[in-house]
């Protein structure tokens, strides 16, 4: 079980900090909830404690794991043979996984595609969302402001 102050990653939402653990009664059923702040959205949500595993919520990555990700950001190949809608479905699955490497693959692939052609609105939105999710985890791992985390990710992307 997570504790107040723990930094967690919520797939499709990003890095979060647990602000409180509250007991609530809903329709006669009492449950524990994590009250969390989603870092890049500055939004508070409650998450049932018993749904953590089902939602794929995990602790944030370690500093070493983040460094490894940043160092290997452009490793791997991009599949250019799939249609936009196939790529979109594949990218949603990757982001929902909560795996930081799969999220980085979405950014890597869409960045590579954007260097060859203009991204459509759906791809642009997917790229922006994936970037915000990664940046929010960088903020928590490195304990730096959003602007600094964003600049770091921009720098990693621009290097290639």
Residues 111 and 145 in one domain: yes
Residues 98 and 143 in one domain: yes
Among residues 32, 59, 86, the one where a domain terminates is 59
Q: Is residue 54 part of a domain?
A: yes
Rounded mean pLDDT, 10-17: 96
Q: Is residue 146 part of a domain?
A: yes
pLDDT at 102 over 80: yes
Give the pair of three-digit tokens for residue 134.
């990664």
Residues 78 and 128 in one domain: yes
Provide the domain limits for residue 134.
63-159
Residues 131, 135, 141: CA angle, nearest 5 degrees: 150
pTM value surpassing 0.85: yes
How much is the mean pLDDT over the chain? 94
For the chain, how many structural domains are there in total? 2
Rounded mean pLDDT, 135-139: 97
Residues 104 and 149 in one domain: yes
Interatomic CA distance for residues 9 and 56, integer angstroms? 8
CATH number, domain with residue 26? 2.40.10.170
Decide if 6 contacts 59 (C-beta within 8 A). yes
Rounded mean pLDDT, 102-111: 95
CATH number, domain with residue 107? 1.20.58.1290
Residues 38 and 109 in one domain: no
């Amino acid at each position: 079980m997570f504790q107040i102050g723990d930094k967690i990653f919520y797939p499709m939402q990003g890095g979060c900090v647990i602000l409180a653990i509250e007991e609530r009664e809903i329709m006669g059923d009492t449950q524990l909830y994590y009250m969390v702040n989603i870092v890049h959205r500055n939004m508070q949500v409650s998450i049932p404690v018993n749904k953590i595993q089902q939602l794929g919520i995990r602790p944030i990555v370690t500093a070493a794991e983040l460094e490894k990700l940043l160092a290997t950001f452009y490793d791997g190949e991009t599949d250019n043979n799939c249609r936009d809608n196939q790529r979109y479905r594949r990218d949603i699955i990757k982001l929902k996984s909560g795996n930081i490497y799969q999220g980085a693959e979405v950014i890597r692939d869409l960045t590579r595609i954007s260097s060859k052609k203009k991204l459509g609105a759906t791809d642009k939105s997917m790229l922006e969302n994936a970037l915000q999710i990664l940046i929010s985890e960088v903020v928590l791992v490195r304990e730096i402001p959003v602007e600094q985390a964003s600049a770091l990710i921009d720098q990693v992307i621009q290097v290639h």
